[in-house]
Structure 1
Amino acid sequence: MTEPRVLPAILVVSEHHSEFLLDEFGRYTRDYQLRAVRTMGDAKAVLDELRTDAVPVPMIVADSSLPDASVLEAFHLWRTVVPTARRLVVAHWDNFLTDAPRLRAGMAKGKFDAYLLMPRGVRDEEFHTAVTELLSDWGSTVADPEVDTVRIVTPVLDGLTLSIRDFLDRMGMPARVHHPDSQVGSEVLARFPDPTEVTFPVVESMRRDPILATSVHDVAVNIYGAPSDIDVDTVVDLAIVGGGPAGLAAAVYGASEGLDTVVVEAEAVGGQAGTSSMIRNYLGFPRGISGMRLAQRARNQAIRFGARFFTGWPVTGLEVGSDGLPHAVVTDGGRIRARAVVVSSGVSYRKLRVEPLEHLVGQGVFYGAAMTAAREMEGQDVYVVGGGNSAGQAAVHLSRFAASVTILVRRPTITETMSQYLVDEITWNPRVRVRACCEVVDGGGDGHLEWLTIRNTETGEEKRHDAYGLFLLLGAEPTCDWLPPRIARDERGFVLTGRDVPKESWLDGLPPESLATTVPGIFAAGDIRAGSMKRVAAASGEGASVVPLVHQWLEPGPEL
């Protein structure tokens, strides 16, 4: 007999408007249970009860004025009970303008997620758009999926399984892990001639035959196919290497303007930005947007205009065309010939180069934000190494699950390298602290990270700390070893474009166009380009800006 489904609870807190708000939230009663109280204290009691009963709480909706505390004090208390709940402040129309000034600073510091005017009539879809966005964000980062597009069968949650889950999360594909002895696990394994010879993890996706996955690449090819499986016999107008913000923007603008456009991405679309739990300073998203959602929306937008994506194929080479012949993007799965190429392969995180910890990658040690792994950190002590925005976003997200999150930076402060909105949010967050002038020099554990040794770079003092998770966001290294020598790069390996190109490569005393490389018809955009800003919006802007240069290159010259 199937156990009754436990509905997550939305908690409404308002002294005078709880009945009105319950009625307004009535459209969610199929999927959520609604609870309403009048005061901060009553809300704390209900949250304690829900936690005891293992009822998830995706959202707390609080009136901007409470009788027994300020709403900011209330959220600070409630966060200690349910740190994963999205926090929504709603104001009656009589109080919206008067309450806004005292609450605005709290929103900037991340004390709550949105400040909305209570609906003044039926079908206030602007209000409910904000509600559903927050619920969707909770569902994609906290809750187990109700429906799984991909099933993973394995007896252990090892590094490979986590990497596959992370890839699927970033691609927006709900997945669940099932034990081989479970009903689902048994059904999947029964599809093999001899289940006793199966190696794990086993991945079944999109009604295809299950595979024995040895890498994320196996899963990507199983779902999306290989370039050789897709018709690329023709010469395309534009091949884009890398599906981060720059590549996605180039794909949208290129395809929308009629260019036959192909994108090759080694991993999940979105690049490093796709691992960000919440980007709050991207234009047009006042409540923020996760990197995954931003990337998937851009991918769908590009596909709508006719762009094709080949996911899971690292580019191994670029053959430069000559005498009117096209360039060729080379992968193990096939070649894509293109009249123009945009290199937007982005950057990877630098290695920590502490050998004992390299052996624990995937077992408590992660390069990047590793969104999927965050859920495995519940109640644990976690460390984040890095002082950039990616590190700050990762720390804030991890604090929803971990007992404590410590950011380690070599600099005296994070204010020089991190956006102020993140600095403010971290300063307020009681679960996150910053340790300056520190570095990780050792660590270990029996099959999983258990401890770290941290050195003070000023005094040289070393101290050992218990640790269950280490997330390394150490800065940028270009990922372009596959480029031919003819494409000039700086001393760090970033691609040179425009006036940064060596003068001996200029034509007729003129530098290449701003995003053009030393090879005609090959362009660079985003983090891979020397001198880029290393920001999502800047990369998107470069991806859009490169398309007019591609058009200019593709236009036939004047007849003589």
Structure 2
Amino acid sequence: MGKPTILTVDDDLEVSAAIGRDLRDQYGGEYRVVVATSGEQALTVLTRLALREQRVALIVADQRMPGMTGIALLEQARHHAPGAKSLLLTAYADTDVAIKAINDIGLDYYLLKPWDPPRERLFPIVDDLLTDWRRANPDETGDVRVVGHRWSSGSHEVKTFLARNHVPYRWYDIERDAEAQRLLDLAGGAAGAGGAAGAAGAAGAAGATEGLPLVLVPDGDPLRAPSTLDLARSLRLRTDAHQPLYDVCIIGGGPAGLAAAVYAASEGLSAVIVEREAPGGQAGQSAAIENYLGFPKGLTGSDLAHRAVAQVSRFGAEMVLARGVAGIETRGPVHAALLDGGGEIEAQAVIVATGVSYRRLDAPGLAELTGRGVYYGATASDAPQCQGEDVVIVGAANSAGQAALNFARYASRVVLVVRGPSLEATMSSYLIARIVSAPNIEVRVRSEVVAAQGDTHLESLTIADRVSGAEDKLASNWLFVFIGASPRTDWLGEAVARDGQGFVVTGQDLMAPAFAGRWPHARAPFALETSLPGVFAAGDVRLESMKRVASAVGDGAMAINVIHRYLGLG
């Protein structure tokens, strides 16, 4: 496909030559740097590149250009190179205009001129933008191939696992892609390494879905309807711990768990994260996190997770993927995390950072269609498959709002179903303003989904007005649910005190009358310590936590601080 393009635009010939030289010296090995001296010339270049199907990775534009400002150019450039990252060069006097452009046109970053020295002021910013672009636009779609059915819950689970673990793959639908049939025929005689369907996967050729999805991994046997653990092992992801004993075992790889691992490892503690699905937790599925400090443009949950995992790895903490924890066993001064399917990890201290899951909707038809048009939560990569269709989203918190905006980029219509009288009490104002202004988002307040219909997959939903009782049947193949918070902590057992909803009680809350007698020691519990000494809780799973990414990160950091004090007792 050739080198991707970096396009620079500045009407000042001296400045234009300087930035072109700096970018070419630093990135010329991997990117083609093209210099334009006006907005009009830049648009001509972009048109030519689009016609040749040549990719544009980054557009760097000066704001103060005669005839067409940098912001005006970047707005028009979205039609020629919709995936390109944007960097605005501006003067201090134009800062307010640049910040406004973050909301108005999705500007990725603005940089005050001059940018000297470039190694300190320009290249780190460009590095981040190009890394993000590369992640969203890999050179190849991946050597992993997945053959399955569009409405198969197993196929959805495999695709979600691959996407959330940043494994590129090619998808082949057995009803739409001729290549899918050829791959099924080729794999028909091979013994699958994953799942229980075995050679029955060849039945897919006859239109059945037994043995699907079929996952073809380079240098591995075909996997038929694999579990996530089978898939992770085939991809050579780490699924087992390497040490017999750790200072800290962190259960859950969301923002709280990742932060705890970074702080633990950077401060000299041996640490391991055990994550059942993929790094990032619920936050990792978000299409955009816009209120996290230090990211004025916002960032995707996937991006946040990817950056955090890189930090975890850099400091030397381990990560065990695709493994759930079934219980905690205390063995004198050591705690053992008992893994699903066998095995255990021992540590002197444990942090429970398993977060929360979306609650299930209780209405006729929904359970039967879960995974086949009815989904709980969504990743950013789910939206493109809904191109031109009607999508229904249930929920009124920020996660639902971000999902609605992401799906609106592809869907013909997005219907946001809200039980309450408005969004104001539960959603941030910046999201509400964008939802209200979106022409293809319809908000239905005082409403709820009361039934789902469909044979092999979701075909329609019944939505009722909670005041009048009137019902409306809406044709749709897609329902995404973002309601409530369920911690799912039964696996902790009776030794760890929880409230009636399952949230873990920690610190001074253990001294409340409702939990009298649950703390077994003469000393007071440390902050974030549970009723099982040496076991701590951080993030959304903890009672009275704030349920925000920033607070979860703070919890993870604070947990390591108190664990140092706990370990000092020994």
What's the TM-score bracket when you normalise by the shorter of the two chains? 0.7 to 0.9
The alignment partner of 1:278 has SS state of coil
* Deviation of the 1:278 alpha carbon: 2.5
- Select which of 234, 248, 253 maps to 1:222: 234
* Deviation of the 1:520 alpha carbon: 1.0
The alignment partner of 2:490 has SS state of coil
| Bigger mean CA deviation after superposition, 182-191 or 326-335 | 182-191
Q: Deviations over 1:112-160 (max 9, x none)?
A: 333334665695674454455445445545x4x4235551231534332
Tell me whether 1:257 sits opposite 2:252 in the alignment.
no
The alignment partner of 1:270 has SS state of coil
The corresponding residue for 1:99 is 94
- Select which of 461, 485, 489 maps to 1:480: 489
* Deviation of the 1:318 alpha carbon: 1.8
- Select which of 198, 203, 208 maps to 2:215: 203
Contact 2:252 2:355 in 1 (8 A): yes
Tell me whether 1:146 sits opposite 2:105 in the alignment.
no
- Select which of 178, 181, 184 maps to 2:179: 181
Change in CA separation of 1:65 and 1:361 when aligned onto 2, cut-off 3 Å? farther
One-letter identity of the residue aligned with 2:565: Q
The corresponding residue for 1:397 is 406
Q: 1:111, 1:192 → 2: CA distance? A: 48
One-letter identity of the residue aligned with 1:154: V
The alignment partner of 2:345 has SS state of strand
- Select which of 212, 224, 230 maps to 1:212: 224
Q: 2:10, 2:115 → 1: CA distance? A: 17
The corresponding residue for 2:204 is none
The corresponding residue for 1:535 is 548
Q: 1:384, 1:40 → 2: CA distance? A: 41
The alignment partner of 1:115 has SS state of strand
The corresponding residue for 2:327 is 317
| Bigger mean CA deviation after superposition, 167-176 or 65-74 | 65-74
Q: Deviations over 1:72-121 (max 9, x none)?
A: 77777776x579545636245xxx23333244334246643333346656
Contact 1:13 1:40 in 2 (8 A): no
Q: Deviations over 1:315-336 (max 9, x none)?
A: 1122233x54544434213122
* Deviation of the 1:288 alpha carbon: 2.7
Contact 1:162 1:372 in 2 (8 A): no
Contact 2:366 2:451 in 1 (8 A): yes
Instruction: Kindly indicate whether structure 1 or structure 2 has the higher relative contact order, using CA contacts under 8 Å at least 6 residues apart.
Output: 1
Corresponding residue pairs, total:
543
Q: 2:366, 2:521 → 1: CA distance? A: 52
Tell me whether 1:525 sits opposite 2:538 in the alignment.
yes
Q: 1:433, 1:490 → 2: CA distance? A: 37
Contact 2:328 2:335 in 1 (8 A): no
The corresponding residue for 2:568 is 555
The alignment partner of 1:366 has SS state of strand
Change in CA separation of 1:192 and 1:289 when aligned onto 2, cut-off 3 Å? same
One-letter identity of the residue aligned with 1:516: E
One-letter identity of the residue aligned with 2:469: G
Change in CA separation of 1:461 and 1:40 when aligned onto 2, cut-off 3 Å? farther
Q: 2:55, 2:478 → 1: CA distance? A: 24
1:287-366 alignment, distance < 5 Å: 287-321=297-331, 323-324=332-333, 326-366=335-375
One-letter identity of the residue aligned with 1:388: A
- Select which of 445, 459, 463 maps to 1:436: 445
Contact 2:334 2:346 in 1 (8 A): no
RMSD: 3.9
The alignment partner of 1:474 has SS state of coil
* Deviation of the 1:69 alpha carbon: 7.7
Tell me whether 1:239 sits opposite 2:252 in the alignment.
no
| Bigger mean CA deviation after superposition, 201-210 or 7-16 | 7-16
| Bigger mean CA deviation after superposition, 372-381 or 63-72 | 63-72
- Select which of 159, 182, 189 maps to 1:165: 159
Contact 1:319 1:484 in 2 (8 A): no
Tell me whether 1:192 sits opposite 2:185 in the alignment.
no
Change in CA separation of 1:47 and 1:231 when aligned onto 2, cut-off 3 Å? closer
Which structure 1 residue ranges, 5 or more long, are not aligned?
none
Change in CA separation of 1:121 and 1:548 when aligned onto 2, cut-off 3 Å? closer
One-letter identity of the residue aligned with 1:181: E
Q: 1:327, 1:121 → 2: CA distance? A: 53
Q: 2:157, 2:459 → 1: CA distance? A: 20
* Deviation of the 1:243 alpha carbon: 0.9
Q: 1:291, 1:467 → 2: CA distance? A: 27
Q: Deviations over 1:505-524 (max 9, x none)?
A: 34577642220111111111
Which structure 2 residue ranges, 5 or more long, are not aligned?
193-197, 202-210
One-letter identity of the residue aligned with 2:171: V
| Bigger mean CA deviation after superposition, 471-480 or 432-441 | 432-441
The alignment partner of 2:179 has SS state of coil
Among the aligned pairs, what percent are the same residue?
37
The alignment partner of 1:239 has SS state of strand
Contact 2:141 2:170 in 1 (8 A): yes
One-letter identity of the residue aligned with 2:245: V
1:377-526 alignment, distance < 5 Å: 377-501=386-510, 502-506=515-519, 511-526=524-539
Q: 2:95, 2:401 → 1: CA distance? A: 26
One-letter identity of the residue aligned with 1:379: G
Q: 1:460, 1:77 → 2: CA distance? A: 46
* Deviation of the 1:213 alpha carbon: 3.3
One-letter identity of the residue aligned with 1:261: A
Q: 1:317, 1:166 → 2: CA distance? A: 26
* Deviation of the 1:488 alpha carbon: 0.7
* Deviation of the 1:347 alpha carbon: 0.6
Q: Deviations over 1:388-433 (max 9, x none)?
A: 2222222232233223333322223323222334334434444444
* Deviation of the 1:13 alpha carbon: 7.3
Contact 1:110 1:425 in 2 (8 A): no
- Select which of 107, 112, 127 maps to 1:112: 107
Change in CA separation of 1:472 and 1:150 when aligned onto 2, cut-off 3 Å? farther
The alignment partner of 1:154 has SS state of strand
Change in CA separation of 1:555 and 1:455 when aligned onto 2, cut-off 3 Å? same
One-letter identity of the residue aligned with 1:64: Q
Contact 1:224 1:310 in 2 (8 A): no
Q: 1:470, 1:48 → 2: CA distance? A: 38
Change in CA separation of 1:312 and 1:390 when aligned onto 2, cut-off 3 Å? same
Q: 1:360, 1:34 → 2: CA distance? A: 51
The corresponding residue for 1:270 is 280
Change in CA separation of 1:120 and 1:297 when aligned onto 2, cut-off 3 Å? closer
Contact 2:250 2:351 in 1 (8 A): yes
The alignment partner of 1:359 has SS state of helix
The alignment partner of 2:448 has SS state of strand
